[in-house]
Amino acid sequence: MLIALEGIDGSGHTTQAHALAKALEASGRRVYVTAQPSLGSIGKEIRTFLQGQVEQHQYFPETLALLFAADRLHHYGTEIQPKLNEGFDVICDRYLLSSWVYQSLQISEDWIRRINQFAPLPKLTLLIDTSVAEARSRREKRGSIEEIFEVDHLQHTIRDRYLELAPSIDAIVVNGCGTQEEVTQRLLQETLKHQ
């Protein structure tokens, strides 16, 4: 089963991908965790842009959206599908919904959906919903490099877009507040309902 974890920056989607994997493994399931952008060459190029290592004017928004779509297809074909074929559950830290949300800030949502139409839908998308203030606090605690979208005014818009678009992919919105363990339990309960 392909499970996508989504949420604004600092919502805990990366931490929860690994925590959910451990919880599922404890119940006897084989789980593989991956992320998008991927660690492949296209994904690495995207990450340099997101981390501000490349001047923003060097990429048109459409170019970046196409890179995300290409990375997703390559990642699915070379990493996700083989693991699914081996009988693993695959948890992907960000997937389709992220592109629909982030790229549609500057480009038509319809165009974003069209360029991603060949990416298989996940069986389950879990949207970890956290307030912008809580997410900012978590990002500050982790002390990582701030990415270009990690500013409050954009995060408010991104959170609203996630909540608006979640029903179109049958995403389940999960309360991201509370302890890490509480959030993991909520995610685990939803995952077990959709086996």
In DSSP terms, 34 is beta-bridged to: 92
Determine the pLDDT at residue 195: 79
H/E element, 108: none
3-state helix/strand/coil string of 19-54: HHHHHHHHCCCCEEEEECCCCCHHHHHHHHHHCCCC
Per-residue pLDDT tens digits for 55-93: 655 668 899 999 999 999 999 999 999 999 999 999 999
Which residue ranges make up each domain of the chain?
2-193
Residue pLDDT tens, the chain, 195 long: 999 999 998 888 999 999 999 999 999 999 999 999 999 999 998 888 777 666 655 668 899 999 999 999 999 999 999 999 999 999 999 999 999 998 998 899 999 999 999 999 999 999 999 988 777 776 667 665 555 555 566 888 999 999 999 999 999 999 999 999 999 999 999 999 997
Residues across the chain: 195
Q: How much is the pLDDT for 68?
A: 96
For domain 2-193, say whether CATH 3.30.365.10 is its number.
no
Q: What is the pLDDT of residue 5?
A: 98
Q: What is the pLDDT of residue 133?
A: 79
91, 34 Cβ separation under 8 angstroms: yes
Closest CA to 50 of 144, 117, 129, 123: 144
DSSP-derived secondary structure for 48-94: HHHTT-S-GGGS-HHHHHHHHHHHHHHHIIIIIHHHHHTT-EEEEES
